[in-house]
Structure 1
Amino acid sequence: MKSNEKRGRNAQGQMEQRKMPNPNSEGRPQHDASRLNPSPGSCGAERKRKGNSDLNICTYNTRTLRTQDDLERLLEEIEDFNWDIIGLCETKRHGEGLTQTNDGIWIYDSGKMEEDPNNKGLGFIIHPRIKDHVKGFTKHSNRIISMNINLIKEGTMTIVQVYAPTQDYSEEDIESFYEDLSKVLQDNRLSEYTIVMGDFNAKIGIKKQDETFSCIGPFGTGTRNDRGNTLIEFAIQEKLIIANTLFNKPHYRYWTWRSPNAITTNQIDFCLVSQRGIVHNCEVITKVDIGSDHLGW
């Protein structure tokens, strides 16, 4: 999916060296022309509806955005499709804060600490057209961050970006992660809409014929593992729907991770939503390539 407009940057693609304050709802203007339709599509919702605009929301494990060159490469890669918000995992960038590029894109970094090997770094990239709707960002832990958005005439939306422990971590670590995540959702329970997305390091596979729970749809790929069962249990507990499973797509539009030998593929990145009706599309975006072993939703 390509946009007809290229959002140009200066020749060097330099970032402004000033930090932005964490936005809040006080004194911030709102758009009057059209309301934001709360429709996370992981950049899959490319159509525009008359009278409102879809939100194109993505999640991507970059593996690293440690250097300025890494970040500039990602910004170049995302020019060719419509996006509004991109949640990031494993950025490995230092320092928490909000930075603005010369062409108005906001980049929020949760910060990575050298003394904490478990902190891989999370972040958000915010398109200029969305900035006036952003209420603020919160770092809840090294694995969970969130942002809140004002939706005109529709209240607020909470977007949570996560990076779950890998298979190398204990069940206690997994339990602690999901307990922290549940607390974040509880703290934001007044939001009209909630999205939880990121690298869950879990495989849920395809729904079995005898399974009656409604948190997953009939589509997907691969087989389920124990961490996938944990993710499904969490979705049931929090009344969330795993949007990746709602739409019939080719196989390559499901898997989000590829092994170093390029033979094994898995679907381990997911987007969970609080209401089925806000999702128009959810699929993998294959055109972003910055050397990560993940694809973006």
Structure 2
Amino acid sequence: MERRKLDVLCLQETTWKGSKARDLGAGYKLYYHGENGTRNGVGVVVRGMHTNGVLEVRRITDKMMTLKLEIDGVLLNVVSAYAPQVGGGREEKEQFWEKLDEAVALIPKEERIITGADFNGHVGKGNRGDERVIGKYGYGARNDEGQAMVDFAHRTNMSVINTFYSKRESHKVTYTSGGKHTQIDYILCRRMHLKEGRDCKVIPGENVAKQHKVVIGKMRLMSRRRREGNERGKWVMAKEMVAGIAQDEVNKALKKMKRVDCGDLAMPKLKGECRQAGMGGGK
């Protein structure tokens, strides 16, 4: 995170049990939720300069949580989610989308939303009929899980940022297994704020996971400040923000962290482990 100057990082499949916040050192803070120590679990890591701006954390299920923070007057809601796998039951999948719909509905429309999630689905290449929610630069062929994601984007007026930027294949593929390359990890924002996006791509060179790749999105948050006698006001840049999604090896590194007891607080030491996971190091 330090090397890539990430402001927030969404984590899935953490397999951490409990609902806690933990200082990670170097100013970063982890918020996480999990109900089972062997499966699922989600988390959000926030850069130190923004931790004082965290206003609310909602831990919804062990596959979904939201975090609201204020950045230079802009209210940003970060959603970390982990959708059921392709072989999951119909009831489980329907429940996931219902919960995600509810989570988004609770966020006022004027506030920003960044959703970083493993949706376990493929939206595919092309966007005929879905131009408002996905771009034409997706990857592969759409499947049922990908269609469910597109339907969600239509219902909530969200856009899939990954698909709006023309990239080489290595900057699109988020998951590799058994010689197969797919795109299942996505970053979404409100359609009305898509113009604030600056870039979104996979970082193939980061040694973060054996299968999942880190996805990084850049957005330039704009706030409206009113001039005296000017009803329309002026749009100015509040902050250029960088968000990411990561899984597997990052989570293992965090789980293996050595802890130093400071009174009643266990402070983890990230430096060595997360350098191995591609998060540490200098600028």
Same fold, judged at TM 0.5 (above): yes
Paired residues for 1:225-236 under 5 Å? 225-236=143-154
* 1:142-195 residue CA offsets vs partner (Å, 9 max, x unmatched): 1110100113233x1111110000012122221111111010111113552112
Match of 2:46 among 119, 126, 130: 126
The letter of the residue matching 1:177 is: F
The letter of the residue matching 1:162 is: A
Q: TM-score, normalised by structure 2?
A: 0.71
C-alpha RMSD of matched pairs (Å): 1.7
Is this contact kept in 1: 2:121–2:143, CA < 8 A? Answer: yes
1:122 Cα shift? Answer: 0.7
Is this contact kept in 2: 1:218–1:246, CA < 8 A? Answer: yes
Give percent identity, aligned residues only.
23
Distance 1:108 1:88 in 2: 10
Alignment partner, residue 133 of structure 2: 215
Match of 1:92 among 15, 18, 40: 15
Alignment partner, residue 64 of structure 2: 144
1:107 Cα shift? Answer: 1.2
Cα distance change on mapping 1:292 and 1:215 into 2, 3 Å? same
Alignment partner, residue 270 of structure 1: 186
Paired residues for 1:65-104 under 5 Å? 78-104=1-27
Unaligned runs of 5+ in 1: 1-77
Alignment partner, residue 110 of structure 1: 33
Cα distance change on mapping 1:207 and 1:250 into 2, 3 Å? same
Q: Does 1:166 align with 2:85?
A: yes
Paired residues for 1:55-66 under 5 Å? none
The letter of the residue matching 2:17 is: H
Unaligned runs of 5+ in 2: 216-283
Between stretches 244-253 and 285-294, larger displacement belongs to 285-294
* 1:115-156 residue CA offsets vs partner (Å, 9 max, x unmatched): xx6x511111111111122113210111110100113233x1
* 1:183-240 residue CA offsets vs partner (Å, 9 max, x unmatched): 01111135521122210000011125x4254100111211111111111011001100
Alignment partner, residue 250 of structure 1: 168
Distance 1:212 1:200 in 2: 18
Match of 2:155 among 224, 232, 237: 237
1:249 Cα shift? Answer: 0.7
